[in-house]
Amino acid sequence: MSIKLAVIYYSTYGTNYEMATLAAEFAKSAGAEVRLLKARETAPAEVVAGQQHWKAVAERTAHIANVTPDDMVWADAYLFSCPTRFGVQASQMRAFIDTLGPIWAQGKLVNKAVSAMTSAQNAHGGQEQTLMSFYASALHWGSIVVAPGFTDPAIYKTGGNPYGYSHTQGQPFTDEAKASIKVQTLRLLDVAGRLKAGA
Ligand SMILES: Cc1cc2nc3c(=O)[nH]c(=O)nc-3n(C[C@H](O)[C@H](O)[C@H](O)COP(=O)(O)O)c2cc1C
């Protein structure tokens, strides 16, 4: 059974874009129908243009569609990827989540499988808290949280974060990091498939 996966990211400097792209590729290779989507930029255009790196990422990812509530209805599973900002999700991602009231009220998010990834400058700069803030919202939706847990040796090799893959800024995307993202993505698809089969 083909699973419809929405990989939804926000990225200012490209890290979460790279993570989301990797996850999307792993999911496609596993046979999922994948939409790679980004949370709409909410920062003023002059602020984005004022930072060379931010502007470059915005231009490089201009071809990627902004996520809409319809994508959430379409998908069986959601994989979020978003930077840690002052210990929580970047506001661009929260702005999107805050548009979901109408479909939440219609029960359209119920039993969707949800997993999350993040990145931060510091290993203890709020990575777990950012992931948990995704899961708190997912619980409100009636979605099913699918964290990686300690289900595979790959999780231990990238810092041992059972809440979701988290990337510490400046570290390379090693084979271990990619393996951890793959484990999380495939586990999400596996649980989404079980949920869909039982629906
Ligand atoms: C406004 C702002 C707040 C940030 N807050 C944190 C933080 O609380 N903890 C941390 O470790 N890193 C923090 N960072 C670093 C970001 O997490 C880092 O730039 C991000 O993970 C890069 O992801 P991206 O390349 O996908 O944009 C912050 C960065 C910015 C610009």
Number of domains in the chain: 1
Q: In the prediction, which pLDDT does 157 show?
A: 87
CB-based contact 73:141 (threshold 8 Å): no
Average pLDDT over every residue of 71-90:
97
Quote the ligand 1 centre to 182 CA distance (angstroms): 23
CATH number at 177 reads 3.40.50.360
Can you give the pLDDT at residue 170? 86
**DSSP states along 125-192:** SSHHHHHHHHHHHHHHHT-EE---TT-SHHHHTTT--TT--EEETT----HHHHHHHHHHHHHHHHHH
Best mutation site among 169, 171, 173, 181 for ligand 1 pocket (most ligand atoms within 8 Å of CB)? 169
- Percent of the chain predicted with pLDDT > 70: 100
Q: How far is the centre of ligand 1, averaged over its atoms, from the C-alpha of 197 (Å)?
A: 38
Domain residues for 181? 4-198
Atom of ligand 1 lying closest to residue 88 CA? 8
27 CA from centroid of ligand 1 (Å): 26
Instruction: Give the predicted TM-score (pTM) of the model.
Output: 0.97
The alpha carbon of residue 75 and the mean position of all alpha carbons in its chain are separated, in whole angstroms, by 13
